[in-house]
Homo-oligomer: A and B are copies of this chain.
Amino acid sequence: MALDADEIAGTLAARGLRLTRQRHAVLDAVAEASSSVSPVQVFDAARERCPELGLTTVYRTLELLSEIGALRRVHGPDHCEAFMPAGAAHGHTVVCSACGRVAEFTECDMGAVVDAAVLQTGYRITEHFLQLSGECPTCGARTGQARGAAGGGA
């Protein structure tokens, strides 16, 4: 995932904040991860570039980077606090239940579902949180599952 460091540095600067070495390390750690990562995972990864990094700073940075929109919070039924780079477009995520790898997709036509919800509940819907899970291509191949059709599920 992209995550242009210069652009992020700019966004921070506009608020009088800086992209420090520690923050940069955190940013890279998330950017390089092939799946969503927990704060400790970020900590471990980022420490290899920045050994003096503290876990406190990781938490603070993940929070900060989410605020400015550089990172996206991902949380499924299980782990509730994980992060991934925020893609350019609004998207949803699919988590592999076997290996945890996360992929983004951009389809966002929730119109029908949202309409039904409005009709049935009377709520005014302003946000939706959707997360699919299943098996990534790699894990699917390893376990020899048939590929193709989409399951119904939960």
Interface, chain A (partner B; CB < 8 A)? 73, 75-77, 80, 90, 92, 94, 96-97, 103-118, 120-137, 140, 145, 147-148, 150-154
Q: Would you list 16 pairs from A and B whose C-beta atoms are within 8 A, ordered by A residue?
A: A73-B77, A76-B129, A97-B127, A105-B116, A105-B121, A107-B116, A109-B112, A109-B116, A123-B132, A124-B140, A124-B147, A125-B151, A125-B153, A126-B133, A128-B153, A128-B154
Residues of B within 8 A of A125 (CB): 94, 132-134, 150-151, 153
Residues of B within 8 A of A135 (CB): 123-124, 126
Interface of A is mostly: mixed
A90 closest partner in B (C-beta): B154
Contact yes or no, B132 A128, CB < 8 A: yes
Contact yes or no, A126 B153, CB < 8 A: yes
Q: How far is the CA of A154 from the CA of B97 in the complex (A)?
A: 23
Which of A108, A110, A147, A154 counts the most B-chain CB atoms under 10 A from its CB? A154
Contact yes or no, A118 B152, CB < 8 A: no
Enumerate the 4 nearest inter-chain pairs by beta-carbon distance, A residue then B residue, closest first.
Answer: A107-B116, A127-B153, A103-B121, A105-B120
Residues of B within 8 A of A106 (CB): 116, 120
